[in-house]
Amino acid sequence: MQRQCLLWLCLSTPDPEPGMYVKANSPHATAAGKSVIGFNLINGKEVEGDLSLIQSKSAVDSRDLVGMFPDSGEKDVARAAKAAADAFRTWSETPFPLREAIVLRTAGVLSLHREKLARVITREVGMTPREARDDVQEAIDACGFFAAAVRNQLEQPSSGEAQRRPVGVCGVLATGSSPLSAPACKILPAILCGNTVVWKPSDNAPTAAYLLLRAMMEAGLPPGVVNTVNGRGRAGCGKHFLAGIDKGHFQSFSFVGSAALGRHVGELCGRNLILPSLDLVGKGAMVVLPDADLDQAAQDAVSAAFGQAGQRPIGLATIFLHEACATGFTQRFLGRVAALDIGNPLSDPDVACGPMINARAATAFREHWDLGRAEGATLLTGGEQWTEANRTGQVKGNISHGVYMQPCVWEGVTPEMGIYRHPVPGPTVNLSTFTDLGDTLAVIARSSCGAAVSLYTRDQAAIERFHRDSQADITRLNTTADDRQTLLSFTGHGTRPGCQPSLEGFTRWMALKGAAAQPTMATQPEPFTGTFKTDWDSL
């Protein structure tokens, strides 16, 4: 039935380029763009899945069908893993300059179609156009960054009796909140090191993922080097994908997502002696001292807390204010929150805050409100969903077919409260006062927001104490913890491909005796010429 449905959809709209299928959107969403009919990409071919179809509805307007994809099953995962294993031998022996050239050409394809990709991201996950362009640019930058990083490390002299070798097939599972940059930071170092990949894209952003892999295929990526299996999370393809760790499908596994699922991935990898790369998305903290530039701190806090509707991989959960500046900062901060333009990022591209990514996220956010009220925290602003009935002048465009939440600011939050201990994705932030910096850093280190911390001050002694005593993975001074200059985009455990060394987790050491220090190839393969041609203008 699924095969007949997909074939009918594909044949009903002539394909302008082989392998790229689109159809007319809903009459109510024609202006948004067309709907992509997507497939799993396995061994360089577009393949249907064994289960039902999933629909990727726009976070901005649920009437907009961005794409349709298979919900893959156990057989699909096994098929993709076999394709990756078969491709591994040839790809692992491909000289690094050819692997590097494909990655750099991928950056060129992404750059050429930056605006088209950004618009798909805005439609699919609700980012503002500026945020979507930033995500595309981060994926482009990652191509150059990892190419240089891996080249640098491969050129390092090694022992005459030891070599680095690729590990094999790498599984990749990444969040949809950064639909291009998050998976790119896992896939690129893996393939540059000579590994092959099976990637399960987020069911929140399958269209963006599909276009990213098509761009790689256009750039000349050989069949089987990167394979995708689409589908739902734990209720669908996700459970079969994770089961592949126990079945021996993967020799390395990379994950970007929640701490709860990250623990499960870590357990699976641990019992199979696989070194995982776990980037656990969450929220961080900001500490503001009395001598700080309060205007700059307030502006940065608004961006970190409410950018991407509070759903960034590393956002801002709690602002710790020294009691001497708490009143002055709070006044500035609330003034900027009240001036935020919120609404439909397609019709009003200059809005600062768009919708929640899906209904599940909205439900969790409402439960967070209820918890804060029950615990006695003071809600200074927010606490409702924007509707046509309660909208004000700060709300832009049609919001009736998406979930648009009011930014929430809580005061009087203590570390014992559930809204402090369990931050939730969404536009919400806690204000907490303190008197001693050392005590506050200790509190942050024990909390769920302690992985990324920024300090706002001009006091050199406080800066030195911050760098000495902070236990965060990411520390920033007078800027937000998630700024684009931070190479380590997320926080987590295991290998850390966002920073040096990029080879860890994607290569293994092999002891040699009586052999050359570096492998050589008698013949150099010709660069693979990409056969995928995406009709970007049809989007």
Predicted confidence (pLDDT) per residue in 328-342, tens digit = 999 999 999 999 999
Instruction: State yes or no: pLDDT of 486 exceeds 80.
Output: no
Average pLDDT, the chain: 87
* Mean pLDDT across 207-226: 96
* Mean pLDDT across 246-267: 91
8 Å CB contact between 172 and 197? yes
pLDDT at 9: 46
pLDDT at 346: 96
Q: In which element (H, E) is residue 409 found? A: strand 408-411
* Mean pLDDT across 266-270: 92
Instruction: State yes or no: pLDDT of 14 exceeds 70.
Output: no
Instruction: State yes or no: pLDDT of 261 exceeds 60.
Output: yes
Q: How far apart are CA 446 and CA 468, in angstroms?
A: 16
Each residue's pLDDT tens digit, 340-382? 999 999 999 999 999 999 988 999 999 998 999 999 999 999 9
* Mean pLDDT across 431-457: 90
The alpha-helical segments, DSSP class H, found in 155-253 are 181-192, 206-218, 237-246
8 Å CB contact between 340 and 407? yes
Dihedral pair phi/psi, residue 431, rounded to 5°: -110, 130
Q: Domains of the chain (ranges plus CATH)? A: 73-281+490-509 (3.40.605.10), 282-477 (3.40.309.10)
Instruction: State yes or no: pLDDT of 80 exceeds 50.
Output: yes
Q: How confident is the model at residue 17 (pLDDT cuts 50, 70, 90)?
A: very low
* Mean pLDDT across 416-421: 91
Instruction: State yes or no: pLDDT of 283 exceeds 90.
Output: no
Residue with more model confidence, 270 or 482 = 270
* Mean pLDDT across 203-227: 96
Please, what's the b/e burial string for 333-361 (b: 16 or more CB within 10 A of its CB; e: otherwise)? bbebbeebebbbbbebeebbbbbbbbeeb
Each residue's pLDDT tens digit, 35-56? 999 999 999 999 987 768 899 9
Least confident of 17-31, 396-410, 480-494: 480-494
Cis, bond preceding 501 (omega within 30 deg of 0): yes
Other beta carbons within 10 Å of 526: 7
Residue with more model confidence, 533 or 286 = 286
pLDDT at 515: 53
Q: How far apart are CA 392 and CA 406, in angstroms?
A: 11
pLDDT at 112: 96
Instruction: State yes or no: pLDDT of 19 exceeds 80.
Output: no
Burial class (CB in 10 A: 0-12, 13-18, 19+), 192: buried
Tell me the percentage of the chain whose pLDDT exceeds 90.
Answer: 68
53 forms beta bridges with 70
Q: How far apart are CA 29 and CA 27, in angstroms?
A: 6
Least confident of 149-158, 443-452, 493-502: 493-502
pLDDT at 513: 65
